[in-house]
Amino acid sequence: MNDTVTGNTTHLSPETVLNQMKKHGVTHVVWLPDSETNWLYLLMKAEPSLTLVAVPREGLAMSIASGLHAGGKKPLVLIQNTGLMESGDSIRGWLMGMEVPVVIMVGLRGWTRHGVTTDTAAVYTERFLNAFNINYYLVESDADSSRIEIAFKEAETNKRPVAVLVGDEYHGFVSK
């Protein structure tokens, strides 16, 4: 199963991510921008089916997402790995404890597939998720978009947060 926009294996297009959000009925994106999400932001902003809820600190995104879910909406949390780690207790209490089936898309700052990862934000991300027993899927290009699909389904099935680690910047639009 693959609904990639370009099918490319070199980078992740913002259109691919947006298509996955729409396909899975996301209504609200609760998010804090990072250095890699501006292309995606422009697309999300133009998408009428999405409401963007910006937060000034990532932990807030978890309780807001929990409330949206309680009210029957489908939130997605979009943050960077630094903010993920800041959000630990809120994830525990407002997502896991409340059985919220939400996908957390995490910009994997510092990730290097082939080199030596020296950025501690990347070094500790998977360890953090493992400590919280949160399953995660690495997405590095459009060809990996089926893994986003898996994350959505797994979150619903298990009534738990599932992380998608974005190991690439969102590049410019396909048409550019």
Report the SS3 class of residue 31. strand
The Cα–Cα gap between 96 and 105 comes to 16
Least distance to other proteins from the beta carbon of 86, Å? 12
Please, which residue, 75 or 167, has the CB nearer to other proteins? Answer: 75
DSSP 8-state secondary structure symbol assigned to residue 170: B
Smallest separation, CB 85 to other proteins (Å):
15
For residue 28, give the nearest of 81, 85, 71 by alpha carbon.
71
CB of 80 to other proteins, least distance (A): 16
Cα 21 to Cα 67, 80, 122: the distances in Å are: 19, 18, 25
**Of the two residues 86 and 149, which places its CB atom closer to other proteins in the complex?**
86
Burial of 132 (C-beta count, 10 Å sphere; 0-12/13-18/19+): middle
Nearest CB to other proteins, comparing residues 77 and 139: 77
Q: How far is the CB of 104 from other proteins (least distance, A)?
A: 15
Residues forming contacts to other proteins in the complex (CB under 8 A) are: 28, 30, 51, 53-57, 59-73, 75, 89-90, 92-94, 97-99, 159
Closer Cβ to other proteins, 74 or 109, answer by number: 74
The span from the first CA to the last CA of the chain, in angstroms, equals: 26
Q: How far apart are CB 75 and other proteins at their closest, in Å?
A: 7
Contact 5, 19 (CB under 8 A): yes
Judged by beta carbon, residue 59 or residue 110, the one nearer other proteins is 59
Q: Is 35:168 a contact under the CB 8 Å cutoff?
A: no
3-state secondary structure of 128: helix
